[in-house]
């Protein structure tokens, strides 16, 4: 089949949420070697694996949508690749899909990210009144939500409401299943679903969104009140019809 760029999607759950991005990169490189995957290396005085991550995950958050683009000399199918990686993956890491994408900087995941889905689950039940969901619905109905954004030189207020694309309270459970999975599909349940702007320009984190909500209600907020899971990462959809965004994995072609 020869050399190709492969976009790999995997889940990062459980205790793996405490592993930082750089350590995760190193662990994945070791796993590629253990799995005997033929990775393409860069040329020059310091060769390294030709790979890039689309949207690094913050420590403390779980995810069903980690994306990494890797150049491989692949001889089998995408199904065979994910199955092989799952055989050597640590607990909490599960490979879901692998598809070929065109070469070139314009197709790199990190340059395409435009939005992301999140599922939030209230972990500390005594941190908010029982009617918090109703108050959240009312809060989201406004046209303006101001938060302070700090830079190295200044601090200014920005309106984050246009960056909240969708919000659904008590969403239906999501189904997570990989292309090589034989076991029954897993479910992701939560109290709140958010689709937020993402990427290098207008990136809105779900914890910042909920911190603003708690602040406006006069409630104390701290990291850990919500369990945060990233469900999917999207690129802007170029053609008309079928919604505004497309999952990064859908931009690739199946490897048969």
Asked if 236 contacts 244 with a C-beta cutoff of 8 angstroms, the reply is yes
Which of 94, 111, 128 is a domain's end point? 111
Q: Classify residue 36: in a domain, yes or no.
A: yes
Q: What is the pTM of this model?
A: 0.92
d(CA 137, CA 121): 16
pLDDT of residue 104: 74
Domain co-membership, 53 together with 101:
yes
DSSP-assigned letters across all residues of 112-164: HEEEEEEEEEE--GGGS-TTHHHHHHHHHTSS--EEEEE-SS-EEEEE-GGGE
Return the pLDDT at 242: 67
For residue 204, tell me if it sits in a domain: yes
What distance in Å separates the CA atoms of residue 205 and residue 197, rounded to the nearest whole number?
8
Domain check: are 166 and 124 in the same one? yes
Which residue range forms the structural domain that includes residue 159?
112-251
Residue 105 has what pLDDT? Answer: 65
pLDDT at 1: 65
**Same domain (yes/no): 77, 183:** no
Q: Do 240 and 125 belong to one domain?
A: yes
The last residue of one of the domains, among 86, 111, 136, is: 111
Tokens 């104390």 belong to 220
Sequence-distant (6+) residues with CB within 8 A of 212 are 145, 147, 160
102 and 133 share one domain: no
Residue 162 and residue 103 share a domain: no
In a domain, 256, yes or no: no
Q: How far apart are CA 77 and CA 60, in angstroms?
A: 33
Q: Which helix (H) or strand (E) holds 28?
A: helix 21-34
In a domain, 99, yes or no: yes
Last residue of a domain, one of 49, 76, 111: 111
Q: How far is Cα 172 from Cα 191, in angstroms, rounded to an integer? A: 9
Tally of CB atoms within 10 A around 73? 12
Residues 46 and 133 placed together within one structural domain of the fold: no
Residue 54: C-alpha distances to residues 121, 232, 244 (Å):
25, 12, 19
Number of helices (H), then strands (E), belonging to the chain: the values are: 5, 14
DSSP element (H, E) containing 215: helix 206-217
Measured distance CA(150)–CA(159) in Å, rounded? 14
Contact status, residue 163 vs residue 197, Cβ threshold 8 Å: yes
CATH number, domain of 47, equals 3.30.70.580
Give the integer Cα–Cα distance in Å for 142 and 137.
9
According to the model, what pLDDT value does residue 106 have? Answer: 62
Domain count, the chain: 2
d(CA 188, CA 209): 21
Per-residue model confidence as pLDDT tens for the chain (256 residues): 678 999 999 999 999 999 999 999 999 999 999 999 999 988 878 788 888 999 989 899 999 999 999 999 988 899 999 999 999 999 999 999 999 998 876 677 778 999 999 999 999 888 899 999 999 999 999 999 999 877 777 788 899 999 999 999 999 999 999 999 987 788 889 999 999 999 888 899 999 999 999 999 999 999 899 999 999 999 998 776 667 899 999 999 999 8
- Confirm whether 243 is domain-assigned: yes
- Give me the residue label for tokens 């995408």: 78
* 238 and 137 within one domain: yes
- The Cα–Cα gap between 195 and 129 comes to 24
């Amino acid at each position: 089949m020869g050399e190709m760029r492969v976009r790999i999607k995997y889940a990062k759950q459980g205790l793996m949420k405490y592993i930082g991005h750089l350590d995760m990169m190193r662990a994945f490189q070791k796993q590629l070697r253990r799995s005997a995957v033929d990775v393409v290396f860069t040329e020059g005085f310091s060769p390294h694996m030709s790979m890039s991550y689309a949207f690094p995950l913050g420590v403390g958050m779980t995810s069903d949508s980690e994306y990494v683009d890797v150049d491989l000399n692949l001889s089998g199918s995408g199904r065979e690749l994910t199955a092989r990686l799952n055989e050597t993956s640590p607990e909490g890491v599960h490979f879901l899909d692998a598809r070929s994408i065109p070469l070139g900087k314009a197709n790199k995941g990190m340059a395409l990210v435009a939005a992301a889905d999140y599922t939030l689950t209230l972990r500390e039940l005594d941190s908010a009144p029982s009617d918090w969901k109703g108050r959240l619905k009312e809060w989201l109905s406004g046209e303006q939500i101001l938060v302070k954004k700090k830079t190295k030189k200044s601090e200014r207020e920005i309106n984050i409401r246009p960056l909240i694309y969708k919000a659904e309270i008590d969403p239906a459970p999501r189904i997570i299943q990989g292309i090589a999975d034989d076991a029954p599909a897993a479910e992701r349940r939560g109290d709140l679903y958010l689709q937020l702007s993402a990427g290098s320009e207008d990136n809105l984190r779900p914890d910042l969104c909920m911190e603003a909500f708690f602040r406006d209600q006069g409630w104390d907020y701290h990291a850990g009140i919500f369990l945060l899971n990233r469900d999917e990462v999207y690129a802007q959809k170029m053609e008309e019809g079928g919604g505004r965004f497309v999952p990064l994995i859908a931009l690739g072609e199946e490897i048969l």
